[in-house]
Amino acid sequence: MQYTRENLKHQVYEIFPTIIYRGEISCHKEFKEKYQQELCEYWHYAEDLPREELQSPENSGRYFLHHNSKYEIFFKCLSENVRQYLRVLEVDDTLLNVHITKSWVNIHKEDLPNIKTHIHNCSDISFCYYLNSDETSDKLCLHQQNNNNEVSDFMFQTTISGKYNLIKKYNKYNCNNYYVSPVEGTVVLFPSNMMHSTVQMHERKENRISLCGDITLTLRKDYLKCEYSRLDPSLWRQF
């Protein structure tokens, strides 16, 4: 196409989008039937944990599901989704190893508050697999910390009344929050440094049960000369 002054009028260039990936866990039905109750008991119903600590799985210290060989079927499905996520980004996933560094059960009952805005540090990709959910389950909310399109301070902020809002409606250019519905049997993958939380939209009918965790990528051992990403942990030395 030859660019002229005429056909360049009102041109919009969409650059630097953030990718949130959702994929299907192919073993979901079998995995749920076999392990849902056992997974619930792994964390939430532990009698040795005070009620206030049950609101934060990581505070329980129980985030090593990936070390249980019984759950390997799920983590293999998860790994395939991670690689598909990388392919969407045109990354050569054959050069990389996928390491699950943390994994825990998150059970959100009807009387628990929303999960506050936070990030997951010390990892590359975070995941949330919905083992049990319905249309009333809280949504995952991804937050943009700095919207470069907000060229004037607080231009995209809104009030409940809407009387003095500058924006007329939200779109992909002016929103700072994006909601993802918790579809059972799917996994959502996103950058670990992305701010996220959960938001209650409806009166909850049943528990939302999810398997969440963090992923770190490293180079395969036969790609030592590649200067990108981390070397394989087997090559590290601890002092």
**Banded model confidence at residue 113, pLDDT cuts 50, 70, 90:** confident
| Residue 194, Cβ density class (10 Å: 0-12 exposed, 13-18 middle, ≥19 buried) | middle
What tokens appear for 210 in the block?
Answer: 């999810």
pLDDT in tens, 122-160: 899 999 999 999 999 999 999 998 899 999 988 988 887
**Banded model confidence at residue 12, pLDDT cuts 50, 70, 90:** confident
pLDDT in tens, 82-103: 999 999 999 999 999 999 999 9
Q: How far apart are CA 43 and CA 39, in angstroms?
A: 7
State what percent of residues in the chain have pLDDT above 70.
88
Kindly list the structural domains of the chain, giving each domain's residue range(s) and its CATH number in brackets, ordered by start.
21-220 (2.60.120.620)
CA-to-CA dists, residue 136 to 56, 111, 153, 203, 210, angstroms: 21, 14, 35, 6, 14
Kindly tell me if the per-residue pLDDT of 165 is higher than 80.
Answer: yes
Output 10 or 149, whichever has higher pLDDT: 149
CA-to-CA dists, residue 93 to 98, 114, 190, angstroms: 9, 35, 16
Kindly tell me if the per-residue pLDDT of 52 is higher than 70.
Answer: no
> Would strands 139-143 and 195-199 be described as parallel, antiparallel, or unpaired?
antiparallel
Residues whose CB falls within 8 Å of the CB of residue 119, separated by 6 or more in sequence, listed in order: 192, 193, 194, 195, 196
Kindly tell me if the per-residue pLDDT of 47 is higher than 60.
Answer: no
